[in-house]
């Protein structure tokens, strides 16, 4: 073969190689569409628990409402309804929809809206990396929106008394809704991964399962016990850190920090190992 023919052959081979090899963008897209291994999600899920404590500390400090623990809010609404049938001195009946009850209802509804939005992951694939990144980024946007609205609301960050919440205007209600939506979406992502962290929000079940764990007092590593302890510890630390920041920079600043943390969690899903391809028996 002559030199020109060799060069032509090499060029055609090189061109074929270039055309057949995927671009970096295509490779990254393929990577995003892989599924993560739930057992390797300890870091992001522990950070989710941290954010539960972080967000709840802000809402409870101002309006005594838990954005993540909707059991209390639901019971509070039942008490508000029961109050309509309670006759006070002189036959007086309290028919007022108290501010605290309005805030509990706002949080409950917004939380469920956020969880419903999280059902989008069922269509994309609950374990797919692209959904975990996108779903956590949605939480970031919700938290950022909460920071902006409470900043514009211009209300105090800490309430002095349960009967006198510090957030009372419309924008503060919007902030409360965005905070609750972020945790609703977080909860369904955690639930679909089906790990020992459960929803990363409601830890009552975690405490019960921890106390019932057969390996509770084993000295060796026990995943079912250890991950529950990590979840509880992360939530506690999140609440502590949030209140410390809240006292220094206020609600808007604390939510701004929370937005940054959520963004870091979003990026962390890119580092979680993927599921290993199953090896068929015939291949063995």
Q: pLDDT by residue (tens digit) across 93-130?
A: 777 888 889 999 999 999 999 999 999 999 999 999 99
CA angle 11–16–22, rounded 5-degree value: 130
Burial (CB count within 10 angstroms: exposed 0-12, middle 13-18, buried 19+), residue 261: middle
Distances (CA, A) of 124 to 32, 36, 120, 130, 187: 11, 13, 7, 8, 17
**Average pLDDT for residues 24-29, to the nearest whole number?**
90
By the 8 A CB rule, do 99 and 168 touch? yes
Question: Is a pLDDT exceeding 80 seen at residue 1?
Answer: no
Question: Is a pLDDT exceeding 90 seen at residue 5?
Answer: no
Q: Which of 13-22, 34-43, 85-94 has the least mean pLDDT?
A: 13-22
**Average pLDDT for residues 60-69, to the nearest whole number?**
93
CA angle 167–200–203, rounded 5-degree value: 80
**Average pLDDT for residues 195-200, to the nearest whole number?**
91
Question: Is a pLDDT exceeding 50 seen at residue 156?
Answer: yes
By the 8 A CB rule, do 111 and 180 touch? yes
Question: Is a pLDDT exceeding 90 seen at residue 257?
Answer: yes
Q: Phi and psi at residue 93, in whole multiples of 5°?
A: -120, 125
Question: Is a pLDDT exceeding 90 seen at residue 40?
Answer: yes
By the 8 A CB rule, do 133 and 248 touch? no
Sorting pLDDT into bands at 50, 70 and 90, what band is 11? very low
- Is 0.85 surpassed by the pTM of this model? yes
Question: Is a pLDDT exceeding 90 seen at residue 176?
Answer: yes
**Average pLDDT for residues 176-190, to the nearest whole number?**
97
Question: Is a pLDDT exceeding 50 seen at residue 19?
Answer: no
DSSP three-state, residue 4: helix
* Residue 93 to residue 142: CA distance in whole angstroms: 39
Q: Report the chain's terminal Cα–Cα distance, integer Å.
A: 44
List, in order of start, the domains of the chain with CATH numbers: 39-84+96-268 (1.20.1250)
């Amino acid at each position: 073969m002559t030199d020109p023919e060799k060069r032509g052959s090499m060029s055609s081979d090189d061109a074929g190689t270039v055309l057949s090899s995927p671009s970096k963008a295509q490779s990254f897209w393929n990577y995003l569409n892989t599924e993560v291994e739930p057992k390797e999600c300890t870091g992001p899920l522990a950070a989710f628990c941290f954010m539960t404590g972080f967000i709840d500390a802000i809402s409870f400090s101002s309006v005594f409402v838990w954005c993540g623990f909707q059991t209390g809010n639901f019971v509070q609404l039942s008490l508000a309804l029961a109050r309509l049938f309670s006759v006070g001195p002189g036959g007086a009946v309290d028919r007022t929809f108290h501010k605290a009850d309005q805030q509990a209802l706002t949080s409950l509804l917004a939380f469920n809206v956020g969880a419903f939005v999280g059902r989008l992951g069922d269509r994309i694939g609950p374990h797919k990396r692209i959904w975990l990144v996108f779903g956590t980024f949605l939480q970031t946007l919700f938290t950022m929106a909460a920071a902006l609205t409470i900043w514009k609301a211009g209300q105090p960050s800490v309430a002095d008394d349960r009967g006198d919440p510090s957030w009372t205007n419309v924008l503060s209600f919007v902030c409360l809704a965005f905070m609750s939506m972020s945790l609703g979406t977080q909860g369904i992502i955690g639930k679909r991964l089906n790990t020992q962290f459960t929803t990363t929000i409601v830890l009552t079940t975690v405490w019960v399962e921890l106390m019932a764990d057969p390996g509770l007092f084993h000295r060796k590593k026990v995943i079912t016990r250890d991950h529950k302890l990590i979840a509880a510890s992360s939530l506690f630390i999140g609440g502590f850190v949030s209140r410390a920041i809240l006292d220094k920079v206020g609600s808007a600043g604390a939510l701004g920090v929370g937005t940054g943390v959520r963004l870091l969690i979003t990026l962390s899903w890119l580092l979680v190992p993927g599921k290993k391809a199953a090896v068929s028996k015939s291949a063995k």
